Amino acid sequence: MIATPGQFRRSAGRRRGFTLVEVLASLVLVAIILPVAMKGLALTTGLAELARQRMEAGALAETLLAESVATGEWQEGGQTGDFAPEHPQYSWTVDVEDWEGTYLRQVDVCVQWTARSQERSVTFTTLVYTGDK
């Protein structure tokens, strides 16, 4: 069977690929979107790490405050320390203030750490009944 010229044109049209303009436009689009996506991913990762540190510091402060009140160590006030060896990047302070005219004392536990070259902190506060003014 002999092919006619029209048959070659039809089959060549079916095997058509991308043009150079389409390929270049796709590359430009990827070059614009990829850096923005990577910046968003880096920002999200950094914020997730900060949130993890804040949650960990909050848990440490809550535990220290509960332990201090339960054992009565809060009465000494003005204490400092760290959570080494388990959490050496965190340090803490306990401050106690009188509530004037009441039988209450305010106990503050502050946990500090450094993240992204900035000092960060979380403070938990409770009131303790002392029974004396």
Whether residue 110 lies inside any domain: the answer is yes
Q: In what order do the strands lie in the sheet with 87-98?
A: 79-83, 87-98, 104-115, 118-129
Q: For position 116, what pLDDT does the model report?
A: 85
Whether residue 6 lies inside any domain: the answer is no
For the chain, the domain total comes to 1
Residue pLDDT, tens place only, 81-130: 999 999 999 999 999 999 888 899 999 999 999 988 999 999 999 999 98
Q: What is the 3-state secondary structure (H, E, C) of the chain?
A: CCCCHHHHHHHHHHCCCCCHHHHHHHHHHHHHHHHHHHHHHHHHHHHHHHHHHHHHHHHHHHHHHHHHHHHCHHHHCCEEEEECCCEEEEEEEEEEEECCCCCEEEEEEEEEEEECCEEEEEEEEEEEECCCC
Whether residue 60 lies inside any domain: the answer is yes
Question: Which residues form the domain of 21?
Answer: 17-129
Residue pLDDT, tens place only, 65-74: 999 999 999 8
Whether residue 10 lies inside any domain: the answer is no
DSSP type of residue 17: -
Whether residue 82 lies inside any domain: the answer is yes
The reported pTM is 0.71
